[in-house]
């Protein structure tokens, strides 16, 4: 097995596997997509996207019953391109964050339990798990939420593993 600190190896491996699953999932959801679209909309998609579109066209964030966190990422992409391209970029961003989260989750397991074997088990277990990967193609918050939680836990574990004089 490659060394744990050879992060390029692990990230590229995760990218290949997750990208293959991404393409497979898109092929299974063909009726929902048009030409040049690499995402799938879900039940709540419009409640995240419509307020941003209204902000751009009408200068009003309406309807405002969703927090703008997910919409803020879309907003940045939307300022640079068309709606379809911005949504494509959002789906690709979800995929890339999901790829990185595989490596970070494996590092968390290694750092918590102090066993390199758990890095490999966690890495391959999460990489091959379809439970969270199915959300990478959807314009919904689930993919970002899982990746963000993994990154937050990684930072927390790194913080408490340091010999700090002051703890929370």
pLDDT given for residue 29 in this prediction = 66
Q: Which residues pair with 40 in a beta bridge?
A: 138
Place of tokens 């092929």: 27
Across 150-168, average pLDDT: 78
Pure H helices in 81-167: 83-113, 116-128, 130-133, 142-161
Is residue 140 over pLDDT 90? yes
Please, are residues 22 and 137 in contact by the beta-carbon 8 Å criterion?
yes
Q: How far apart are CA 125 and CA 67, in angstroms?
A: 32
φ, ψ for residue 163, nearest 5 deg: -85, 75
φ, ψ for residue 118, nearest 5 deg: -70, -25
Per-residue pLDDT of 55-99, as tens digits, reads 999 999 888 888 788 999 999 999 999 999 999 999 999 999 999
Is residue 2 over pLDDT 90? no
Q: How far apart are CA 138 and CA 25, in angstroms?
A: 10
Please, are residues 33 and 117 in contact by the beta-carbon 8 Å criterion?
no
Q: How far apart are CA 112 and CA 96, in angstroms?
A: 25
Angle between helix 83-113 and 142-161 (nearest 10): 30
Residues 6+ apart with CB under 8 A from 70: 48, 141, 144
φ, ψ for residue 40, nearest 5 deg: -130, 140
Q: How far apart are CA 93 and CA 96, in angstroms?
A: 5
Per-residue pLDDT of 20-54, as tens digits, reads 999 999 888 666 567 789 999 888 899 999 999 99
Q: How far apart are CA 137 and CA 62, in angstroms?
A: 25
């Amino acid at each position: 097995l490659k060394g744990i600190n050879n992060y390029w190896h692990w990230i590229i491996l995760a990218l290949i596997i997750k990208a293959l699953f991404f393409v497979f999932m898109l092929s299974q959801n063909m009726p929902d997509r048009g030409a040049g679209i690499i995402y799938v909309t879900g039940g709540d998609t419009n409640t995240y996207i419509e307020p941003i579109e209204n902000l751009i066209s009408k200068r009003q964030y309406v309807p405002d019953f969703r927090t703008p966190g997910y919409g803020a990422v879309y907003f940045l992409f939307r300022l640079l391109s068309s709606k379809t391209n911005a949504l494509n970029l959002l789906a690709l961003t979800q995929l890339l964050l999901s790829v990185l989260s595989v490596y970070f989750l494996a590092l968390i397991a290694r750092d918590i339990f102090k066993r390199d074997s758990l890095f490999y088990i966690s890495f391959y277990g999460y990489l091959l798990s379809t439970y969270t990967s199915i959300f990478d193609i959807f314009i919904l918050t689930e993919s970002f939420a899982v990746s963000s939680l993994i990154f937050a836990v990684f930072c927390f574990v790194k913080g408490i593993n340091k010999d700090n004089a002051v703890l929370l």
